Chain A
Amino acid sequence: MGELRLMKGNEAIAEAAIRAGCDGYFGYPITPQSEVMEYLMAEKPHERTGMVVLQAESEVASINMLYGGAGTGKKVMTSSSSPGISLMQEGISYMAGAELPAVVVNVVRGGPGLGTIQPSQADYFQAVKGGGHGDYKMIVYAPASVQEMSDHVKLAFDKAFQYRTPVMILSDGAIGQMMEKVELFDPIPRRTDEEVIAACPWASTGRPKTRNHNIITSLDLDPAGQEKVNLKLQEKYRMMEQNEVMYEEIMTSDAEYLFVAFGLSARICQKATDIARAKGIKVGLFRPITLFPFPTVQIAATGSRVKGILVVEMNAGQMIEDVRLSLGCKVKIEHFGRFGGIIPSPDEVAKALEQKIIGG
């Protein structure tokens, strides 16, 4: 068993980064995720593992520092919250285009605009449907616990390098701020420069006489060349859809109704499931863990066995579009959401199931 600690979600992200052998963290303070960089600075990772931690002048600079570091094959990460992540979209698009591995954590707060500092899930579309310009996707993990905040960091780095892609962890202000028990994974040593060069022959690390120069760019002025780049990216996304889907089902085997929810909403739905079951309503919970790739086939299989589905999100109805695309008109699908930083209560959710699905 790994080391057990009581930690905030944001702290778990930071500790996991150090343990995952991250080479560089570049960030800018924003509520509700500032503890990530605070924890990192306090831990002196430059002494612990040699990891670089730098407070940048903006989120725009942070994401471009990631581009620079990733382009040299190093394991790099940033974290921010919604307004800051909006500023990073340009850089994420460039990284997707240049096929660079990096981990971006969004501890979501309510919007639009400056919005609120309270938790929200309103950045689902931005995370899952591209966010920046151009046809690209990234793997998006939705942790529902402090434990997953830690686990997903390690996983995100593995997948970022496996597919040479930016990977996002889409959390929220509640999971970032709440404290839970975490079993930490054993530290992975940072790679030496020689190991980075050997593992990333594509990276711009300094051209030895034995190879041509490496160029990291997302630019190809020849449309035929740029189409090839796009086809290659799409092929990669199909591979992700085949191999990287993660989800969890709770009490779905006998379910007549279904909650579909991710992250914090799934935690609330778990409690709402207990409340509804105590009343004799057979409801289960389907929790997508990867939001891209979306568990389309799996939701279709489970969802087509029930009488109705309530998609619960802390937004005005975003993931529900993907649930509807998965199931078509085969089953009644409704949405329940609170937004602007309001967290729905389990009672509220259980009541919504009765009103919108069972009674409706």
Chain B
Amino acid sequence: MEELFAKPDIRKPENIVYRKSDLMVDRPLSYCPGCGHGTVHRMLMEVIEEMEIAEQTIGVSPVGCSVLAYDFLNIDMLGAAHGRAPALATAIKRLWPHRFVFTYQGDGDLAAIGTAETIHACNRGENITIIFINNGIYGMTGGQMAPTTLLGMRSSTSPYGRDVEHMGHPIKMTELIAHLPGVNFVTRQSVHTPVNARRTKKAIRKGFEIQKAKQGLSFIEVVSNCNSGWKMTPVQSNKWMEENMFPFYPLGDIKVDGKLVEKKENE
């Protein structure tokens, strides 16, 4: 299998127009074709590579689709129990204050089972970066309802659509986190177009710069598609995301330099 992907190095400075980060391990990703995780991995590794901090970075991966993130990211990593990544990251940063520490978590991990660890790590203002991938569904276990599942959205445990009476409301963790004083930077991005992917990368870079300056916690939500879980083609799922997810989870900065960004038009 490995040999299939091993190719002679034909890269020369004159013929490189676009390259994969050297911090991405040469191994096929375990994500479904069309999923946004791979792009976020890439943006994250590019930031670490460009900042030249690979040797000083310790990452924490979650339980969920990105449980194997440590297999793809060529930096030292720890795989956390479901939802507990912010607790691990807290201890790591306290014990290694000169290291860059990030967690990479999905919406089931961060917004359901790990709510307490997330809120308290944020509220303590731990000097870490939290990357939160929100696709509104439990992808790995086969498409069950998540705390972030939209009203009316179908999943294997809300087969007739999520309704408030029986299943309650979807939770906007990112808006909630933004109100905590220890949090410096909160933003919501996506990676479904090149422009959006670049914005996500910029946001991740800002998060790591905040760590460098020891200015508190940075929280970056990436609204992502789950074409398998949503039972759509990748193209359909991106369109559905734009039409349904973004109105409820609007993109843009929510808190910058410790100050809430004033909302412009409608909520």
Q: Is the CB of B81 within 8 A of A90?
A: yes
In chain B, positions 47-72 with a C-beta closer than 8 Å to chain A are 54-58, 60, 67-68, 70-71
Residue of B nearest to A71 (CB): B78
Decide: B91 and A68 in contact? CB cutoff 8 A: yes
Cβ proximity bits B69-103 to A, threshold 8 Å, 1 near / 0 not: 01101111111110010011111101110010000
Q: How far is it, in angstroms, between the C-alpha of A88 and the C-alpha of B70 when the chains are bound?
A: 24
Asked if residues A217 and B70 are in contact (CB atoms below 8 Å), the reply is yes
On whether the beta carbons of A57 and B117 are closer than 8 Å, the reply is: yes
Max chain B C-beta neighbours (<10 A), residue from A23, A98, A204: A204
Q: Which residues of A contact B58 (CB under 8 A)?
A: 72, 204-206
Given the known interface contacts A207-B74, A213-B75, A217-B70, the answer about A64 and B95 at a Cβ–Cβ threshold of 8 Å is no
Cβ of B205 < 8 Å from any Cβ of A?
A: no
Q: Which residues of B contact A60 (CB under 8 A)?
A: 84, 87, 116-117
Q: Are A72 and B87 in contact (CB under 8 A)?
A: no
Would you call A48 an interface residue if the criterion is a C-beta within 8 Å of the partner chain's C-beta atoms?
A: no
Contact B95 A54 (CB under 8 A): no
User: Min CB distance, A264 to chain B, in Å?
Assistant: 32
Are A61 and B84 interface neighbours, CB within 8 A? yes
B95 and A204: CB pair below 8 A? no
Nearest A residue (CB) for B94? A52
CA distance A218 to B78 in the complex (A): 10
Of A65, A90, A218, most buried by chain B (CB within 10 Å of CB) is: A65
Cα A113 to Cα B11 with chains together (Å): 64
Question: Which residue in chain B gives the minimum CB-CB distance to A218?
Answer: B79
Is the CB of A114 closer than 8 A to any CB of chain B? no
Query: In the assembly, what is the distance between CA of A68 and CA of B117, in Å?
Result: 13
The reply to whether A64 and B55 form a contact with Cβ atoms under 8 Å apart is no
Q: Which residues of B contact A76 (CB under 8 A)?
A: 91, 95
Known: A61-B116, A68-B87, A90-B81. A52 touches B55 (CB 8 A): no
**B residues contacting the other copy or chain, number (CB 8 A):** 34
A61–B120 CB distance below 8 A: yes
B95 contacts A215, C-beta separation under 8 Å: no
Say yes or no: A204-B76 contact (C-beta < 8 A), given A57-B120, A58-B116, A74-B95.
yes
User: Smallest distance from the beta carbon of A194 to chain B beta carbons, Å?
Assistant: 12
- Given A206-B57, A213-B75: A24 and B84 within 8 A (CB)? no
Given A61-B87, A206-B99, the answer on whether A214 and B76 have CB atoms closer than 8 Å is yes
Known: A58-B116, A204-B76, A206-B56. A68 touches B99 (CB 8 A): no
Asked whether A213 and B76 contact (CB < 8 A) given A68-B90, A206-B56, the answer is yes
Rounded to whole Å, the gap between the CB of A195 and the closest CB of chain B is: 13
From B74, which residue of chain A is reached at the shortest CB distance?
A213
Complex-state Cα separation, A38 to B68, whole angstroms: 39
Chain A nearest CB, measured from B23 CB (Å): 9
Contact B94 A217 (CB under 8 A): no
Task: Report yes or no: A207 in contact with B95, Cβ–Cβ below 8 A.
Answer: no
Per-residue CB contact flags for chain A residues 232-276 toward chain B (1 = under 8 Å, else 0) read 000000000000000000000000000000000000000000000
Inside 8 A of B94's CB, which chain A residues have their CB? Answer: 24, 52, 54, 69
What are the residues of chain A within 8 A of B76 when measuring CB–CB? Answer: 204-207, 213-215
Say yes or no: A213-B77 contact (C-beta < 8 A), given A24-B94, A26-B91, A76-B91. yes
CB-defined interface of A28-69 with B at 8 Å, one 1/0 digit per residue?
Answer: 000000000000000000000000101011101110111111
Please pick, from A56, A74, A209, the residue contacting B87 in the complex, using a CB distance under 8 A.
Answer: A56
* Chain A residue nearest in CB terms to B60: A68
Find out whether the CB atom of B78 lies under 8 angstroms from the CB atom of A216: yes
B91 touches A206 (CB 8 A): no
Alpha-carbon gap, A219 to B140, bound state (A): 15
Q: Name which of A64, A71, A90, A91 has the most chain B CB atoms within 10 A of its CB.
A: A64
Task: Evaluate contact between B116 and A71: CB separation under 8 angstroms.
Answer: no
* B88 pairs with A68, CB closer than 8 A: yes
Judge if A193 is at the interface, Cβ distance under 8 Å: yes
Q: Is the CB of A215 within 8 A of B116?
A: no
- With a cutoff of 8 Å between Cβ atoms, the chain B residues found around residue A23 in the complex are 95
Bound-state CA distance A23–B92 (Å) is 11
Q: What's the nearest-Cβ distance from chain A to residue B64, in Å? A: 12
A339 at the interface (CB under 8 A from B): no
A57–B117 CA distance with the chains assembled, in angstroms: 7
- Give A contacts to B, CB under 8 Å: 23-24, 26, 52, 54, 56-58, 60-62, 64-69, 71-72, 74, 76, 90-91, 94, 98, 193, 204-209, 213-219
Give me 11 other A-B pairs in contact (C-beta within 8 A), A57-B117, A91-B81 excluded: A26-B91, A58-B116, A68-B88, A69-B92, A72-B58, A193-B96, A204-B76, A209-B55, A213-B74, A213-B76, A216-B78
